[in-house]
Every structure is written in C-alpha cells, then in structure tokens.
Amino acid sequence: MKRALDRRALVASALAALAVAGCARRAAPSAEVVVFAAASLREVFDELAASFRRDHPGVRVTLQYAGTQELRAQLEHGARADVLASADLRHMDDLARAGRVGRAVVFAQNEPVLVVAREAKERITALSELPHAGRIVLGAPDVPIGRYTAEVLERARAPYGDDFRARVEARVVSRELSVRQVLAKVRLGEADAGVVYRTDAHGVAGLTVIAVPPALSVRADYPIAVVEGAPHPGLARAWIEHVTSPAGRGVLSRAGFLLPGEAAR
C-alpha cells in the first residue's frame, strides 16, 4: 500500500512540475520588435503591424511615432529600438554617418500639399493665394515637412514674386514638431491653412486639399533601416522585408504613398 501511495505521489509531483513548466512557458515574455516611425506613417504601420503579427505568432510589435527629428534625438540619447523609418534622408544619413543605423533603403515617397480650413476655402484656392490666409501653421524648420515647405516657398518666389515667401511667413502663427500637429491645428480651426503630406490629407473630411504645382513641388523620400545594436536584429530585418514586400507596397499605395520611381498621381 505504501509503495502504491509513493508511486501516486511521484506521478502527482511530476504532473504538477509539468503544469508549472507549462505555465512558465505561457507566461514568458514574447519576442518584441520596436519600430520608431515618422508620424505620417501611423495608419500604414498600424495596418502592417497587424499582418506582421499574424505572420509571426508570439511576436509583439511596439510602434513609436513622432517627428523624425525627435526620433533621431531619442536614438542619439540612447533609446533602444530595432528599426527606424524616417520621413527624410537627411536625418537618416546623419545617423548612418554616426554609426547609429545600418544601410537604409527608400521604401516610399510623399508630396507636400496645402490644406485649407472650411472657413478659408473661398479665399485660398491655390498656392499663390496662401498669403491671403489670416493664420498659417507650418512644420518647424528641423521637421521634414517644415524643410520641404521651405523648399516649396523658395521655389515659389520665381512665379509669385520675390516677397512671396516673406508674405507667407508673416502669416505663420505656429511651427509644429510633427506633420500631424500641423494637420490638427487646421482641422480644429486654429489656422486657416497649413502644409502637410498628401497622405495625411487623404480622406480627411472638412478640409480643402490643394496640390502644389509640379514645378514647385518636392518629393519626400522615406528610408528605413535597422538600428545599430538593435535588441532583435533578425526581427528588424523581417519587419523591413514585410514593409517592402508586395503586400506592404500595396498597403502603402492604398494609403496614398508613392512607391520609389512612381510618377506623381
């Protein structure tokens, strides 16, 4: 009888150990890929994260969105991330020269457009009429959309007058740290007009979207790279492959992004 009880005790102990081990495995933290991405990529990368998780069960995707210049500053101050997706080449190139990111590939492109609040749509129907706005909001100079805007305004001096840029900038009431903040100010009626990416204005109700004349426009390149010292370099490369795959390109295209080499729409 005692021997039978001992056997039952051993079996129960073994089963309990297996149960504990199983719970530990279930409770163990899953792998994680941390992606730093420009604010204008939010909807696209949110969608791509869902499909990435389906293709990589147990992998958590953590997305951090901000202005590219802010993401760069975080990396320079030691923030841990696996991937950086930027809204311009300048910040990415500077990080590459400093040894903070690997080789970058341009995966998408964008274009600046003028967005006009409902109250100002009768006064502003073209870029040439932007000085008629009472209040303008733009990106800060170090923010990619701010730099692209400055390029457009400088080019516009030839057809619209040498003082065109000065007349526009005299109406600027704030300079924001991300393109989404520019868009929000115009949507909330805190400004009559602003300059954002075409994808940000895509499908936004209540705003008039005005294209920049092709001769004055600029093309925004979006590079992506693995961060040097990434905690999960394999997952970082898998994320980049996912973004640049045919499925990823389809998501980008539907959101209004241009693919590298694609003509303006």
Q: Work out how many domains the chain is built from and give that number.
A: 2
Q: Is residue 237 part of a domain?
A: yes
The pLDDT value recorded for residue 1 is 42
DSSP output for 104-125: -EEEEEE-EEEEEEGGGTTT-S
- Give backbone dihedrals phi and psi of 259, rounded to 5 degrees, phi first: -95, 150
Regarding whether 232 and 102 lie in a shared domain, the answer is yes
72 Cβ contact partners less than 8 Å away, ≥ 6 residues apart: 86, 91, 94, 95
CA distance linking residue 253 with residue 256, whole number of Å: 5
Q: Which domain holds residue 171?
A: 112-211
The pLDDT value recorded for residue 263 is 63
Q: Is residue 15 part of a domain?
A: no
The pLDDT value recorded for residue 11 is 35
Q: Is residue 75 part of a domain?
A: yes
- pLDDT tens for the chain, 265 residues long, are 444 434 444 334 433 343 333 432 332 346 999 999 999 999 999 999 999 999 999 999 999 999 999 999 999 999 999 999 999 999 999 999 999 999 999 999 999 999 999 999 999 999 999 999 999 999 999 999 999 999 999 999 999 999 999 999 999 999 999 999 999 999 999 999 999 999 999 888 889 999 999 999 999 999 999 999 999 999 999 999 999 999 999 999 999 999 987 766 6
Q: Is residue 5 part of a domain?
A: no
3-state SS, residue 208? strand
Regarding whether 76 and 56 lie in a shared domain, the answer is yes
Q: Is residue 261 part of a domain?
A: no
Regarding whether 50 and 123 lie in a shared domain, the answer is no
Regarding whether 205 and 128 lie in a shared domain, the answer is yes
Q: Is residue 27 part of a domain?
A: no
Regarding whether 228 and 104 lie in a shared domain, the answer is yes
Q: What is the pTM of this model?
A: 0.83
CATH code for position 172: 3.40.190.10
Neighbours of 24 (CB within 10 A): 9
Q: Is residue 9 part of a domain?
A: no
Regarding whether 207 and 117 lie in a shared domain, the answer is yes
Regarding whether 116 and 104 lie in a shared domain, the answer is no
Regarding whether 160 and 135 lie in a shared domain, the answer is yes
Q: Is residue 22 part of a domain?
A: no
The pLDDT value recorded for residue 264 is 65
Regarding whether 134 and 88 lie in a shared domain, the answer is no
CA distance linking residue 260 with residue 242, whole number of Å: 16
CA distance linking residue 92 with residue 105, whole number of Å: 10
Regarding whether 80 and 161 lie in a shared domain, the answer is no
Continuous H helices in 28-143: 42-55, 68-76, 89-97
Regarding whether 122 and 203 lie in a shared domain, the answer is yes
